[in-house]
Chain A
Amino acid sequence: MLEVAVRHRLGDFTLDAVFDAPQGLTVLFGRSGSGKTSVINAVAGLIRPDAGRVRVGDRVLGDTAQGIWLPPDRRGLGYIFQEGRLFPHLSVRQNLLYGRWFSRSSLPLDPVVEMLGLGGLLTRRPGALSGGEKQRVAIGRALLADPGLILADEPLAALDEARKAEILPYFERLRDEARCPILYVSHSAAEVARLATTVVVLQDGRVIRQGTASEVLSDPAVTPAGIRAVGAVLEARVAAHHEDGLTELDACGLSLFLPRVRQDIGAPLRVRIAAQEVILSRNRPEGLSALNILPGTVDSIREGDGPGAMVSLDTAAGRVLARITRRSAEALGLAPGVSCFAVVKTVAIAREDVGGA
């Protein structure tokens, strides 16, 4: 669906990134300076790489071998830049509508304005906006261009949690309605887990790992975002909505309880369970406030540099990761093949870790 191969030199830095992602939202993940923005700029046609090929679906946006390199305006983009880049001479409304001048369709303004909370700002100029407000206008401007490919470079970095929670579902919907592929840069494991169809991990300009969110985030060896980003992603279906506000999921026969989600019964869902939030117990625990208890078998124990150990547990619902202390691992006598129970709080699975699959 999205094929990217770029080789380009920038001073001492050499970008040499090749990946191929299916339909959906592809997250570029990597440390500061690893080349994420450079990849996006190449896809956008803002840099012409020394050699490269970019294809979205059947559309070849560029192929240096064939001497093709479409200019940005013919790529049908919605690019949310890392640094805003609003037009200072246009009002917020004019900024938002800018892309519409050039696209055939005309998405309605109001829903986007409402989602982004820009209602009172439409007549202002960007110079009179706060940092987060600017960022939100930039998001709206890209979305309203009705793009065939969205490029989002840390779109939510400057926003507060509450606002993030309002915008994330919009990206989810874009992804799920297969409206257009999305290439998304983020440093937040929660965002990645929730949004990513595919995660591409960059390091020093090279792709060092690529896979689904569950593969990449549950690989303790690849923890580009730090140890806290490690977690498993389980696939499940909505089984029931209970009256007390909980939703029960069916993860291959195992029940999982979550705070109510909006998906309908039967809908597929992905749930990220951070490794550090899983408690292990040799016996089925009783009388705990935690509602989710998954029986499984230890697959491997990987000890880190510190006091921790990463336990991979095979459950009926799939692989679950638990990060516990070595002391606990020893106390519980954990070893490959030993059966035990994973305990996960219902509310520890926060909303941003749950997304439609």
Chain B
Amino acid sequence: RPVVAEPVTVFAAASLKTALDDVAAGYDGEVTLSYAGSSMLARQVQQGAPADVVFLANTDWMDVLEADGLIASGTRVDLLGNRLVLAGPAGAAPVEIGPQLDLGAMLGDGRLAMALVQAVPAGIYGKAALESLGLWAAVEHRVAQVDNVRAALALVSLGQVPLGVVYATDALADPHVDALGVFPQSSHPPIRYPVAAVAGREDAGAAFLAFLTGPEARTIFAAHGFAVLGD
């Protein structure tokens, strides 16, 4: 590991903030972390943003960047994974998530909080999962979509809705919320957090990328509830 690394600018999905802040704190060099939504970050990279490393919550946008030739070849790694859970108020009874689940009954006259099902990854995955389990039709008109998964969690946390579909990492951190059940991994496309160096800036990003995939970082990510891929 180099003694003093070059300063590095990382554009990272906002949902990674807590974990990535911790990871960067252990990095022996200057790291600037810019957190925003994946789509914003990708567009900014498309427009020539001064990012050395991009770390997204969404493989689609990374695919776009890759297709545009904006990421350094061979640097892309799907570093983290996550799970979808059905979140409910703390203390509620756990359920088995499968085709037999009577989600409609569980909701009563309440709604199911999700991120935007057409636009935001957590929502897209959630809808896919519910569809593959045959549950979507029952709740399609009962979904309250919000612009990000944290807002969905907030709805559950505040009791505004009885249930929400969120990431495991989110449910873990909120004391008012429990994960009532985990969606089977097979029910939706794998949830990946790809990271890559930006084309033309791989020198600045290489060291940090290496650090991200190193053991120290892995431990921290795991502690925040992420599945660290590529083990």
Q: When A and B assemble into the complex, do they touch directly, with CB atoms less than 8 Å apart?
A: no
Taking Cβ atoms with an 8 Å cutoff, the residues of A that contact B are none
